[in-house]
Amino acid sequence: MPDLDLNLLVALDALLKEQSVTAAARRLGLSTSAMSRTLSRLRARIGDPILVPAGRGLVATPHAVKLAAEVHALHEAVQAVLSRPPAVDLSKIDRHITIRANEAFVLIFAAELSAAVAASAPGIRLRFAPRADKDIRRLRDAAVDLDIGLLPPESGELRCQTLFTDRYVGLARPGHPIFENGPITAASYSASGHVVFSPQADYAGPVDRALAELGFRRDVRLIVPSFPAVIAVAASSDLLGCVPMSYRQSVTKGDVETFELPFAVPSFTIVQAWHPRMDADPVHRWLRGLIFARFKTMG
């Protein structure tokens, strides 16, 4: 119905409630003449007089009486659809939320985040999905609600908020020979054996590129599929590791020692990303704020 005018529905509801053109006009803030013209339009549209004279007033026709309850319900439904969402009572929300994040994020922050969510919204259940798949289609179709990590590829469609800036640090077991021969240099660092993280066994990352600019190359002895695995191997061997500084929080004190890399490696930004379709969702917005507040002091 291309010529459908919802204002007619509003006017009809007022006319049927008041059974008076003047009172209906007053209710809607219109002039009596404007409401009279609207009544004429309604009569032509519906094919029924709707209100007819009865003594000194008006009375609804049988067809109008039959329509009254349905018209009022439709009016309320339209108002609900075209109104802002009501305030959300988080304590009554029953919902699953899927967050895509890497293993280290889950190890370090999942328990803390779960406790914070449960304190305000005990009916929300968090599900962490692996970040090996960074396809934005999973955000688009709501299979994933929130993505946390490096800026996803093809992120122009997404909304992104910076959580913190991270950087790489070296790590080794306590008493490692690298600590015994004076300051660590690019030469001594690259000559040591290394355990590196690489999901596809291709470890040419920012650390390797920085070393290559200085004419060095790491002596890689072991490739593992996660940064927590790098930490575990470095803690129990003579292999050096390299992880983001934020991952250091997952290490039990005394297992490994961290050290500044003896060459410049670019820092990187960790974001939370979501699809614009979730922008105005009050629960999603609340969770984003909770996560942002946790990380705003990091970096």
Query: Is residue 287 a part of any domain in this protein?
Result: yes
Domain boundary among 35, 61, 81: 81
Burial category of 35 from C-beta neighbours within 10 Å (exposed 0-12, middle 13-18, buried 19 and up) = buried
Does residue 66 sit in the same domain as residue 199? Answer: no
With a CB cutoff of 8 Å and minimum separation 6, the contacts of 245 are 166, 167, 168, 169, 258
- Position 297 scores a pLDDT of 62
Quick one: CA torsion of 13, 17, 19, 23, rounded to 10 degrees? Answer: -90
Number of domains in the chain: 3
56-88 per-position pLDDT tens digit: 889 999 999 999 899 988 888 888 777 676 678
Whether residues 134 and 276 share a domain: the answer is yes
Q: Of the residues 57, 81, 105, which one is the last residue of a structural domain?
A: 81
Domain boundary among 81, 108, 123: 81
Instruction: Tell me if 228 sits within 8 A of 103, measured CB to CB.
Output: yes
Spatial distance between the Cα atoms of 211 and 193, rounded to a whole number of angstroms: 15
Domain shared by 41 and 62, yes or no: yes
User: Distance between CA 182 and CA 14 in Å, rounded?
Assistant: 88
- Residue 191 domain-assigned? yes
In a shared domain, residues 122 and 201: no
My answer on whether 224 and 286 are in the same domain is no
Which parts of the chain register pLDDT below 70? 1-3, 83, 85-86, 133, 152-155, 201-202, 252-253, 297-299
pLDDT per residue as tens digits for the range 251-283: 766 789 999 999 999 999 999 999 998 988 999
> Is 33 a domain residue?
yes
Q: What is the pTM of this model?
A: 0.69
Label residue 285 exposed, middle or buried (CB < 10 Å: 0-12, 13-18, 19+). Answer: middle
Residues 290 and 142 in one domain: yes
The CATH number that applies at residue 26 is: 1.10.10.10
Q: Looking at the domain assignment, is residue 209 inside a domain?
A: yes
Tell me, yes or no, whether 1 lies in a domain: no
Q: Which residue has the tokens 């984003």?
A: 288
* Greatest extent of the chain over all pairs of C-alpha atoms, in Å: 109
Residue 256 lies in a domain: yes
The distance of Cα 165 from the centroid of its chain, to the nearest Å, equals 19
Reading the block at residue 186, the tokens are 């690019």
Tokens of 72: 């009022």
152, 278: one domain: yes
Residue 263 CA to residue 247 CA, distance in Å, equals 20
CA dihedral 96, 100, 102, 108 (to 10 degrees): -40
The answer to whether position 86 is within a domain reads no
CATH code of residue 154:
3.40.190.10
- If asked whether residues 182 and 209 sit together in one domain, one would say yes
pLDDT at site 252: 66
Predicted pLDDT of residue 299:
47
Co-location of 75 and 197 in the same domain: no
Residue 131, in any domain of the structure: yes
Q: Which domain holds residue 223?
A: 168-266
Whether residue 183 sits in one domain with residue 36: no
Q: Are residues 277 and 258 located together in one domain of the fold?
A: no
Give the Cα separation of 277 and 141 in Å (integer): 9
277 in the same domain as 262: no
